[in-house]
Structure 1
Amino acid sequence: MRFKQFTFAAASFIAVAGASGFASAEMTKMVGGAAMYPSKNIIQNAVNSKTNTTLVAAVKAAGLVETLEGPGPFTVFAPTNAAFNELPPGTVDSLLKPENKAELTSVLTYHVVPGRLTTEDLGAAIKQGGGEATFKTVEGEPLIFSEKGKTFEIRDSKGRVARITIADVMQSNGVIHVVNKVLMP
């Protein structure tokens, strides 16, 4: 009788733990104090990051939420709040105005490359390209990638250089790489 009670208790614990996520070990990365779950899409994860609230607000203002919740896959180079704060004063406020939606959309889609590009993929493309690799963004303009030691750098069309600070944050519909600068087409 005791064995049956133990078996029932153990089975109940496993069922409860599995339902609460305790027993399912998803490989996550922390971004902005929040765990990023590979089973969730880009938007479901991004809204929880305290260091990417400006990006999330911009994505909402541009009407890109549904797109980034879609199947993708997408590679998103996600600027932090600090990166947006480095822009000239008033830039973010101006971009978020409804009359500037087209410009905001252009800036945001310049941070997205079609497909799922991990740092392993970027490294291979850079090596194959002799030290640089160019990828066309959803916006239509290219980004140029290089590797400096163990850091990946991204050069935009204005010559600004961003670094990937948190790499390979896997999503159900792509991958996010957190960057320290806003890229400008």
Structure 2
Amino acid sequence: MIRFATFAYAATAVLAATAAFAQAKNPMVGGAPMYANKTIVENAVNSKDHETLVAAVKQAGLVDTLNSEGPFTVFAPTDRAFSKISDDSLNQLMMDEHKAQLAKILACHVVATSAMSDAIAGMIAADGGMHPVPTVGGCTLQAKMDGDDILLIDENGREAKVTIADVRQSNGVIHVIDRVLLPAQ
């Protein structure tokens, strides 16, 4: 009986250590731990840097999609990124009558696969320095490297830098970016 209790304690300790190790590999975002066993939405709601994005995802009706199995790669603009859009424009987008436009903008931040930064960098290198990234919103972003940083260029030529890469989720990965990407106008 003592051996079983010792084994059970040891197994519990190993599982706890494994969970802690897995969590330690995921970066904190917006002051909150990001759990690889939670969905994109379940993690994003805890980030103090993504309150505008979470509100926009809710308004656009995309919560169920981003809670689904995926896999997804989400380029997640911070609140600071959203602050580069005028308050009037952002308020207009958040209105019910502009829900479809908001959903399209947000979908231009989502790719229907799970792509870690090393894979993105490899695709950029394989394509000679620029790699097209088709999104679920019908936009095509261009990815390129700037030193060790991944930059995304939207259809209007606006650049966003990945500031936190490889935030693992149960249904994909998040890369935090410093600008909102927009579809061609």
Query: TM-score, normalised to structure 2's length?
Result: 0.89
Whether the 8 Å CA contact 2:73–2:115 is kept in 1: the answer is yes
CA separation in 1, counterparts of 2:39 and 2:171? 5
After TM superposition, the structure 1 = structure 2 runs for residues 20-169 of structure 1, keeping only pairs within 5 Å, are: 24-25=19-20, 26=22, 27-169=25-167
CA separation in 2, counterparts of 1:78 and 1:23? 28
Larger Rg belongs to: 1
Opposite residue 37 of structure 2, the aligned amino acid is S
Aligned residues: 180
The change in CA–CA distance for 1:122 and 1:23 in structure 2 (over 3 A counts) is: closer
Opposite residue 99 of structure 1, the aligned amino acid is E
CA deviation after TM superposition for structure 1 residue 92, in Å:
1.4
1:85-134: CA deviation from partner (whole Å, max 9, x where unpaired): 01123121111100000110010000001101111111111111100000
Whether the 8 Å CA contact 2:26–2:166 is kept in 1: the answer is no
CA separation in 2, counterparts of 1:91 and 1:131? 34
In structure 1, the residue corresponding to 2:104 is in which secondary structure? helix
Gaps of 5+ in 2: none
Whether the 8 Å CA contact 2:161–2:178 is kept in 1: the answer is yes
Whether the 8 Å CA contact 1:29–1:37 is kept in 2: the answer is no
Quote the RMSD (CA, aligned, Å): 2.1
Whether the 8 Å CA contact 2:75–2:176 is kept in 1: the answer is yes
Q: What does residue 176 of structure 2 align with?
A: 178
Gaps of 5+ in 1: none
Whether the 8 Å CA contact 1:37–1:45 is kept in 2: the answer is yes
CA separation in 1, counterparts of 2:154 and 2:18? 43
In structure 2, the residue corresponding to 1:105 is in which secondary structure? helix
In structure 2, the residue corresponding to 1:130 is in which secondary structure? coil
Identity of aligned residues (%): 44
CA separation in 2, counterparts of 1:141 and 1:84? 19
The change in CA–CA distance for 1:15 and 1:117 in structure 2 (over 3 A counts) is: closer
1:8-42: CA deviation from partner (whole Å, max 9, x where unpaired): 59956975996xx6773223210000010111110
Moved segments of 4+, more than 3 Å: 7-18
Whether the 8 Å CA contact 2:77–2:176 is kept in 1: the answer is yes
Opposite residue 24 of structure 1, the aligned amino acid is A
